[in-house]
Amino acid sequence: MQWANIRLFVVHFWSNATTPKTFYVLYTIFILLMAYSAVSGINNYITQNDIRQEHQKKARQSWEANPDKHPHRMAHFGTFAFRIPSTLGIFDYGLESFTGSTVFLEAHRQNSVNFSEATFSTGTLRFGELSLALLLQLVLPLVLFFIGFSSVAKDRQNGTLKILLSQGASWKEILFGKSIGLFTISLLFFIPVITLVAISLLLLDHSVANDFRWLRLLVIGISYLAFLFILSSITIAISTSSNSPKNALLRLLGIWLLLVILLPKSAQAMGNYWFPTPSKLAFQSAIEKEAIQKGDSHNPNDPHYNGLRDSVLTVHNVDKVTDLPFNYSGFVMREGEKITSALYKKHQAKLIAIYESQNDVTRFSSFINPFTAIKLISMTMSSTDFSSYTDFQDKADDYRYQLAQTMNELQMEYISPKKESGSEGKTHVVGHEHWEEFEDFKHEPISFSNSMREALPAIFSIILWTLGAVGLLIFTSKRAKAI
């Protein structure tokens, strides 16, 4: 196999593909769609970022504006945590429209993340949103299929293949030359997209901590290049094995429907069937039932806390809780928070494990579907996947727990132990300066290492598919016929 001959086939393919006016019509339409997607993505990012940061600021101002108050009342007053959108979300929306962005943080209760765009939109959102990633994942493959479906089949029909082979060209040179030629055509569509994303990253103001966005973009770029080479190789292989251009186009469209619609939907359905999730009501009921069995920190006659009180009195060698060196009510609230938080984390971990099992079905289906692999890599590196959502959820709950326990400790330290109960009046309050001492919630993006760990199966799949594409071309070259 001579690279000089391959280069000739690349140049020839390029010339034939870019000569027809239909190519420029397709390219113009793609560029217009790209511009629309980019403007929509950037506007949505700026709008959401401004709204969430502004509301996070207002939530903090509301927290600090509280007067002198009982710490436990402050724990129930609570605050809000807002998830700052990922900058690379301008490229791939992922699950952003379906996962919530706001959670109310209060003592003794772990609220769900709410206010997703899907809850405020019409049913049309289920059909997806036009993003730059969607163009590369769904639209560009169709463009490549349309450009390359007749590349070999047409040459067989008009007798060009016999002439090429009789002049010393090999099937490997022909197939690799045409595949690389189609791949270079795909770069005309891909480079403007990735360049536009890079420029957007430079221009947008980054107020969140460093999330290795440039390294993430590099992984995205390399993965899409591999994906486009896979598509180019499949297109040429199908064209070679088809007896007519029409037959090649129909087969390629069938492959697109299978890999883009049927397989992903089937994987999701199988995941839901094999690993069913409990309803929200059942999930909350299970936590409350177990919490009741553990004990109610707000019930002074609860058996569990009666035993706890007796043990505390024994340790401190006193007869009454008013003789303790700290406020006993605060101590009880602190212990109650430990119990309820531990219960929630246990049940939440089980729920997340179910979702992860469902996602594993889709994740490992990437080994038979390169479209799934590139979609997973794109979402994960853009921090718009499920793991990014659960990472925010965990960090928000950790902050909530710290807030509640800090308020409980303030009650233990500053509320007189002589006061057995009550949260009203000037004798049951602490100074408002303590509200300012507790740091505000700042959303930290998921770490790059965690994202890589999540994307590793899909990255490995893309590597295997790339090697498989080369193998497919070699295998096809050995079975191809000129007639």
3-state SS track over 75-120: HHHCEEEECCCCHHHHCCCCCCCCCCCEEEEECCEECCCECCHHHH
Phi, psi angle pair for 430, to nearest 5°? -125, 160
Residue 464 — pLDDT band, cuts 50, 70, 90? very high
Considering the domain boundaries, does residue 263 fall inside one? Answer: yes
Which residue range forms the structural domain that includes residue 185? 3-275+361-479
Residue of 63, 33, 72 lying closest to 297 (CA atoms): 72
Contacts (Cβ under 8 Å, ≥6 apart) of 414: 71, 327, 430
* Domain count of the fold of the chain: 1
Considering the domain boundaries, does residue 454 fall inside one? Answer: yes
Considering the domain boundaries, does residue 321 fall inside one? Answer: no
Distance (Å, rounded) from C-alpha 263 to C-alpha 26?
27
Distance (Å, rounded) from C-alpha 84 to C-alpha 129?
20
Q: What length is written for the chain?
A: 483
Distance (Å, rounded) from C-alpha 295 to C-alpha 305?
7
Residues 189-206 pLDDT 10s: 999 999 999 999 998 866
Considering the domain boundaries, does residue 337 fall inside one? Answer: no
The pLDDT, as a whole number, for residue 426 is: 56
Decide if pLDDT at 1 tops 90: no
Q: Is-contact 83 52, C-beta < 8 A?
A: yes
Separation of first and last alpha carbons in the chain: 22
Contacts (Cβ under 8 Å, ≥6 apart) of 403: 75, 78, 79, 105, 107, 438
Helices (H) and strands (E) in the chain, counts: 19, 3
Considering the domain boundaries, does residue 349 fall inside one? Answer: no
Q: Average of pLDDT values for 443-468? A: 95
The pLDDT, as a whole number, for residue 463 is: 97
Decide if pLDDT at 124 tops 50: no
Considering the domain boundaries, does residue 440 fall inside one? Answer: yes
Considering the domain boundaries, does residue 245 fall inside one? Answer: yes
CA separation, residue 390 to residues 23, 96, 97, 386 (Å): 44, 12, 15, 6
Which tokens go with 395? 């960090």
Distance (Å, rounded) from C-alpha 452 to C-alpha 179?
30
How high is the mean pLDDT of the chain? 90
Considering the domain boundaries, does residue 326 fall inside one? Answer: no
The pLDDT, as a whole number, for residue 427 is: 63
Residue 209 — pLDDT band, cuts 50, 70, 90? low
Q: Which of 122-136, 219-233, 299-313, 341-355 has the lowest mean pLDDT?
A: 122-136
Q: Which of 60-64, 125-129, 181-185, 440-444 has the lowest mean pLDDT?
A: 125-129
